[in-house]
Amino acid sequence: MPNLEHPAYPAATLLHLESLVPCRESQVSMLLSIFGERQQFSFPSIFIYGHTSSGKTYVMQTLLNTLQLPHVFVNCVEYFTSRLLLEEILMQLQSCCSEREQTSHVHCDTFNDFVRLFKQAVVSRELEDQTLYIVLDRAEQLREMEANILPAFLRLQELTDRNVTVVLLSEIVWELFRPSIGCFEPFTLYFPDYSIGHLQKILSQNHPPEYSADFYAAYINILLGVFYMVCRDLKELQHLAALNFSKYCEPVVRGEANERDTRKLWKNIEPHLKKAMHTVYLREISSRAGENEKNVYNSDLKFGCSEKVLGLSAHTHVELPYYSKFLLIAAYLASYNPVRTDKRFFLKHHGKIRKTNFMKKHEKTSNHLLGPKPFPLDRLLAILYSIVDNRVAPTANIFSQITSLVTLQLLSMVGHNDQLDGPRYKCTVSLDFIRAIAR
Amino acid sequence: MASDQIRNKGVNVTDHDLTFRSLSEVLQNNITPYIALLEAKDCPGIKNLMQKLMGQLMNCYIDVDSSEDEDYVQVSHNRIRCSMTSLINWYEHVTKKPDSETPSKKRTSSSRHWQSPPVVVVFKDMESFSTKVLQDFIVISSQHIHELPLVLIFGIATSPMIIHSLLPHFVSSLLCIELFQSLSCKDHLSTIIDKLLLRASFPFKLGEKVLQVLINIFLYHDFSVQNFIKGFQLCIVEHFCSQPVSVLCCQLVDAKKRADSLSHDQCENIRKLPSFRRYVESQVSEKQIALLTVDTYLKEITQKLLEDLHVYHENYLSVLRCLHVFTSFLPKYPLGKQIRELYCACLENQVWETEEYESSLQLARMLNKSDLVTMLQQCVEIFVSSSGKEFDNTVEKLKEFLTQFQKLEEEAFQEQDVSVSSQKELQKKTDLYHLQKTLLELKESRRSKKLTKFEMLRFEVVDYIDSLVRNYLVPANHKTLHEIMYFNTASVLREHLNAAPRIALHTALNNPYRYLKAFSTVVMGAEGPNADAASSDQVDDIIHARFIRAVSELELLGFIKPSKQKTDHVARLTWGGC
């Protein structure tokens, strides 16, 4: 029974649309009712927001393509200046409804020019009788451009006096967009996250043809049961499903179990999934193996002999030369120990340090929580000389090693480059790293 | 999904440039002509990145197929819209070309490439890029992956986990990551030492102290192979400049010719060498006089000694490799895991007198059969591949050992019966007294047990290797005329390589005249060939004036102040930095 009904569009198209956008029927029907019929003016600007992978871009594109509404789709990250953005909209408009490939370069600097050229383009493409949709994806980038871009887009219908609707897609709520000088409030539409039932339905849709839908649905059920607690992102779950499916099918392929033997299949896949939990959001191994059908057998081998395929997290060890290790350790000590304790730790004959009132008050916060503090170069060298056992000659090599540590982002330079007097550094690595090195 | 590969390099930042250049050459020849190399300092923002990228790609295109196309010749950066669409248009234009045009002269190079070759973008120093730039670039290029096949190569110096700290999840999910790890720098060092020093074809060799200095700088300071090479070049220069007899340090044939044509002074130089004096003292008195006075006789002897030295080197290296094979099977590597450590140990003194050698022989006497057999086979290969007939006997002997080991296998079954029978005896029912007696007898028999054949053979092998070592691994300073080939003044090397900037500055400021000379050399070097005309002894007046003005400017800025010691001396005022 079709959920989407609209008098303006043929029922067959709507049925097809519904099959393409499962679990988003209510949002699509809301959009359809706002759009109305082709020639009717719609709301000047619509703001759609929702979490990552909640289907905003996909639904918009599918809707506009299936119903064949004239539209322009632009990603604001790609066209990072206003000039690029406006020119791209105009160029897409030129090729929107015509079959001609050749698009001449349009020169458009300001929004004023844009409005004028837009009106000309609409007339030349004979789009006056239909609503034109301009969809701006990743609209949060609009805030970084000139201040007039966002308010102008929201009022584009009024400025151009044409039948146009601007749709903004973003992950951020509207309150953070609202410019301080005020603007035309768009219609906000929220795409809620998929629930577990929705995820099950969507993921079960793309099952590989050689296995039955039930088999795959059972697999998705298991997968969701394990991963839903930590990950609700549809894209990530799709990736995980593709990656682990071959392992799940192993018993069936080897002939040890048939498709209904849930217990055996679960036993086989459970340790593997447990291991995969550790690296959920980290793309350790390329998923090319999962997507390409021919490589399914090869990926079997890869997962079988797990010591061969090492993900990224297996390579954490950084090899440093001898003095560099000491430099890094000295930098860590300099960053995290307050200056007054230096005398105590590093000299042979130290006096006692008397606690003053000031120190008693501020003792609570641990230095580890506050982060590294900057230290001058001389202090680093002093600590270095005291922790290295044998004598270290102050050669240029030591100094150049400090610079290469900065290049590797293990140390960071604080303050201006102009400060010839004494460069100050800060240590940017964690205690675990230092412990691993100090071994 | 964009395609992406990560190369994990080491922390030797100075060597990376060369590696990436050679990588891009290889890629250009075999896979694709469209390669762009990006550095972090050129790309503070996404716009600069796109500009640089397009500039490099379009120039690449011109290199491959020059002069044909007028549209894309040397467009200035401002005129192109630096966006992805223009890049895609350019790519389409470029990959469509070979179909329609007539074959050009340079067709052969492009025919090796695929129909739509991928565009390779290399990020040379991944850690220094700002995350925003990388994220934006990856998001943009992943949108257009179908029209523009892009492969990104990230050069990572620390560890691949940095990908996770640089790129947020939604970006790294767009990438298909494969990891490539280049050889560690220590491996590179071993390869270099192997190819340069452990070859008989190169007569120049480093003494032990010098080699230690270079290796220490490598291991302790910077892991940089280029610096090691520069140090080595410095040694060569020093050797040939300071040692007059190094004229004979060349291939054997040339050395003999040169020895023939030595002048009297050069013969005197040879006579002064300490190793030659030792040689002379060991000769009969008539020969001594002849050596010290007659030049022609000296030349003959020199040629003979050079030949000996050459043969000694060849043998030395083969036996050294054999010993390395031998010790690499031992647990805990008493003589060092890598051949360079073994080489250092053998260079300085007689290795058979060291403790480590003793312990390694003891351990070798406990090796198992399969290890011994493998080791012997490898030694046979080494000796067979060495030139000269010196080692034919050795090869024979080693092969004999191998056949004996094989024979032992067949006889192995007989050994087992003895132990089985003793087991059976114990299992019979006995009372306490008899049990005690049998156990004591067994213990006696075990103590005075005859060594099995395998153990005897093992002893023989170890002793034979020992004899080879004693014969051939004589340290070089025992050989006559070694000063020709070996460079051993480590102090000079250390002075040059371990620059101490504070000391240099201190001496300079105490004696401004030296600083002035240095200043003038630098300035004249920078000015190029015009400066050649001026004589290098007298400091040019203009340069002198520039120097004095520079000093007074520094004084004005507060970096130095005149000290009260002498009119010209200045003292450094600031103590920060270096």
So where are chain A's domains? 11-97+104-190, 196-295, 322-349+368-438
Q: In chain B, whose CA is at the least distance from the CA of A379?
A: B576
- The two structure tokens encoding residue A333: 């000590």
- Would the CB atoms of B220 and A398 count as touching at under 8 Å? no
Nearest to B159 among A75, A310, A315 (CB): A315
Q: What is the tens place of the pLDDT at every residue in B506-523? A: 666 566 666 667 676 666
Residue B319 has pLDDT above 70, yes or no: yes
Query: Among residues B195, B229, B218, which one has the least CA distance to residue B11?
Result: B218
User: What is the mean pLDDT of the segment spanning B191-217?
Assistant: 82
Please check the confidence at residue B555 and state whether its pLDDT lies above 80: no
- Which of A 389-418 lie inside 8 A of B, CB atoms? 393-401, 404, 407-410
Quote the tokens at residue B116. Answer: 């739509």
Distant-in-sequence, close-in-space partners of B107: CB < 8 Å, separation ≥ 6: B98
Which pLDDT score is estimated for B537?
42
Task: Note whether A81 contacts B576, CB cutoff 8 Å.
Answer: no
Best to test chain B binding among A56, A80, A91 (most B CBs inside 10 Å): A80
Are B11 and A404 a contacting pair at CB < 8 A? yes
CA B309 to chain centre: 26
SS3 call for A382: helix
* Confidence at residue B354, expressed as pLDDT on a 0 to 100 scale: 81
Q: Quickly list DSSP for B436-484.
A: HHHHHHHHHHHHTPPPPHHHHHHHHHHHHHHHHHHHH---GGGSTTHHH
Phi, psi at A306, each rounded to 5°: -70, -15
A244 touches chain B (CB under 8 A): no
- Asked if B291 and B301 touch (Cβ cutoff 8 Å), the reply is yes
Domain A322-349+368-438 CATH (choose: 1.10.3470, 2.60.40, 1.10.10, 1.20.58): 1.10.10
Element (H, E) at A175: none
Q: Is it the case that residue B491 has pLDDT exceeding 50?
A: yes
Confidence of residue B184 (pLDDT cuts 50, 70, 90): confident
Taking CB atoms and an 8 Å cutoff, what residues of chain B touch A323?
A: 220-221
Residues of A in contact with B162 (CB under 8 A): 409
- Identify residue A309 by its one-letter amino acid code: V
Instruction: Compare all CA atoms of chain B with the CA of A233 and give the residue at the minimum distance.
Output: B170
| Cβ contacts of A323 within 8 Å, gap of 6 or more | A388, A392, A397, A398, A401, B220, B221
State the nearest Cα–Cα gap between A11 and chain B, in angstroms.
32
User: A235: distance to nearest CA of chain B, Å?
Assistant: 8
Mean pLDDT within B54-83: 56
Q: Cα–Cα distances in Å, from A208 out to A149, A214, A255, A301, B120?
A: 46, 12, 19, 20, 33
Contact residues, chain B, for A79 at CB < 8 Å:
83
Q: Which is more confident, B97 or B577?
A: B97
Out of A283, A288, A397, closest to residue B222 by CB: A397
Is residue B529's pLDDT more than 50? no
Lookup: tokens for A23: 């679990």
Contacts of B176 in chain A (CB under 8 A): 286-288
- Kindly state whether A338 is in contact with chain B, defined as any CB-CB distance less than 8 angstroms: no
Give Cβ neighbours of residue A139 (< 8 Å, ≥ 6 apart). Answer: A47, A76, A168, A169, A170, A177
- Collapsing DSSP to helix, strand or coil, A85 comes out as helix
Phi and psi, residue B178, nearest 5°: -130, 145
A279: its two tokens: 């690296």
If you ran DSSP here, which 8-state letter would residue B117 be given? Answer: P
What's B198's DSSP letter? Answer: S
Closest CA to A45 of A192, A150, A122, A125: A150
A84 in contact with chain B, both atoms CB, cutoff 8 A: yes
Position B536 pLDDT exceeds 60: no
Q: How confident is the model at residue B560 (pLDDT cuts 50, 70, 90)?
A: low
**pLDDT(B21) > 80:** yes
Place of tokens 């053979």: B457
Per-residue tokens: A429: 């690595």
Q: What is the ipTM of this complex?
A: 0.77
pLDDT in the model for residue A134: 92
Please, are residues A342 and B542 in contact by the beta-carbon 8 Å criterion? Answer: no
307-336 of A, contacting B, C-beta below 8 A: 310, 312-313, 315-324
Residue B359's pLDDT band (cuts 50, 70, 90): confident
The whole-angstrom distance between B459's CA and the closest CA on chain A is 39
Distance from CA of A421 to the nearest CA of B (A): 5
Mean pLDDT, residues B500-504: 63
Q: Which amino acid is residue B73, in one-letter code?
A: V
Q: Report mean pLDDT in 10-residue bins for chain A, 439 residues.
A: 70 85 87 85 91 87 88 88 88 72 72 90 81 90 88 90 91 89 89 88 81 84 86 83 81 76 80 78 52 36 36 62 82 80 67 56 61 79 78 70 79 68 74 77
Q: Does B179 contact A318 at a Cβ distance shorter than 8 Å?
A: no
Least confident piece of the model among A419-428, B30-39, B314-323? A419-428
pLDDT at B573 over 60: no
User: What is the pLDDT, as a whole number, of residue B75?
Assistant: 47
Residues 6+ apart with CB under 8 A from A308: A302
What is the DSSP secondary structure assignment for residue B331, as one 8-state letter?
A: T
pLDDT at A189: 92
pLDDT given at position B284: 82
Cβ A413 vs Cβ A425: under 8 Å: yes
Return the exposure string of B460-484: e unless at least 16 CB atoms fall within 10 Å of the residue's CB, then b: ebbeebeebbeebbbebbebbbbbb
Residue B345 pLDDT grade (very low, low, confident, very high; cuts 50, 70, 90):
confident
Mean pLDDT over B230-240 rounds to 85
Chain centroid to CA A146: how far?
A: 25
pLDDT, tens only, B441-452:
887 776 655 667
The DSSP 8-state label assigned to residue A146 in this structure reads -
pTM of the model as a whole: 0.71
Q: Taking residues B53-79, report their average pLDDT.
A: 55
* The total number of residues written for chain B in this structure: 578
Contacts of A283 in chain B (CB under 8 A): 172-173, 175, 177
Whether residue B571 is predicted with pLDDT greater than 90 in this model: the reply is no
**In this structure, are residues B155 and A407 in contact, taking their beta carbons and an 8 Å threshold?**
no
**Sign of dihedral through CA atoms A46, A52, A57, A63?**
negative
Partners of residue B496 in chain A, C-beta under 8 Å:
none
Which residue from A148, A200, A192 is spatially nearest to A51, judged by alpha carbons? A192
Residues B94, B95, B100, B104, CA torsion sign: positive
Q: How confident is the model at residue B112 (pLDDT cuts 50, 70, 90)?
A: very low
pLDDT > 70? residue B117: yes
What is the sign, positive or negative, of the torsion defined by CA atoms of B218, B219, B225, B229? positive
CB < 8 Å from B in window 52-81 of A: 52, 75, 77-81
The pLDDT-based confidence of B561 (bands split at 50, 70, 90) is low
Question: Which position has the higher pLDDT, A380 or B562?
Answer: A380
pLDDT, position A198: 87
The residue in chain B having the minimum alpha-carbon distance to the alpha carbon of residue A83 is B81
Shortest alpha-carbon distance between residue B11 and chain A (Å): 7
Nearest residue, CB atoms, A401 vs list B143, B169, B222? B222
Q: Which residues of A277-305 are buried (b: 16+ CB within 10 A; e: fewer)?
A: eeebebbbbbbebbeeeeebeebbeebee
Model pLDDT for residues B142-180, shown as the tens digit of each residue = 888 888 888 888 888 777 777 777 888 777 777 777 777
Residue B105, pLDDT score: 40
Distance CA A111, CA B10 (A): 50
Give yes or no for a contact between A62 and A21, defined as CB atoms under 8 angstroms apart.
yes
Q: Is the pLDDT reported for residue B74 higher than 50?
A: no
Distance between first and last Cα of chain B: 49
Q: What is the pLDDT of residue A188?
A: 92
> Which of B223, B493, B505 best tests the A interface by mutation, with the highest count of A CBs <10 A?
B223
CA dihedral B104, B107, B110, B113 (to 10 degrees): 130
- For residue B103, pLDDT over 50 is answered with no
Size of interface A-B (CB pairs under 8 A): 143
CA gap A414, A379 in Å, rounded: 15
**Confidence (pLDDT) at A46:** 93
Q: How far is B498 from chain A (nearest CA, A)?
A: 5
β-strands A71-75, B205-206 pairing: unpaired
* CATH classification code of A11-97+104-190: 3.40.50.300
CA distance B524 to B540: 10
Residues B129 and B40: beta-carbon distance below 8 Å: yes
CA-based nearest distance A166→chain B, Å = 21
Decide which of A61 and B271 is more confident.
A61
Q: Determine the Cα angle at B420 with ends B414 and B421, to 5°.
A: 100
pLDDT score of A105: 72
Percent of chain B past pLDDT 90, that is, above it, reads 0
Chain A, window 219-238: residues with a beta carbon less than 8 angstroms from a chain B beta carbon: 235-236
How many angstroms separate the CA atoms of B350 and B371, rounded? 27
In angstroms, the CA B178 to CA A86 distance is: 37
* Torsion-angle region of A132 (φ positive above 0: left; ψ -120 to 50: alpha; else: beta): beta
**Residue A271 Cα distances to A105, A262, A299, angstroms:** 58, 15, 17
Chain B residue with the nearest C-alpha to that of A237: B173
Residue B64 confidence (pLDDT) = 43
SS3 content of chain A, % helix, strand, coil (to 5): 50, 10, 40
pLDDT at B545: 75
The answer to whether A239 contacts B169, with C-beta atoms less than 8 Å apart, is no
Distance from the A313 Cα atom to the nearest Cα atom in chain B, whole angstroms: 6
Domains of chain B are 13-173 (3.40.50), 187-487 (no CATH), 501-572 (no CATH)
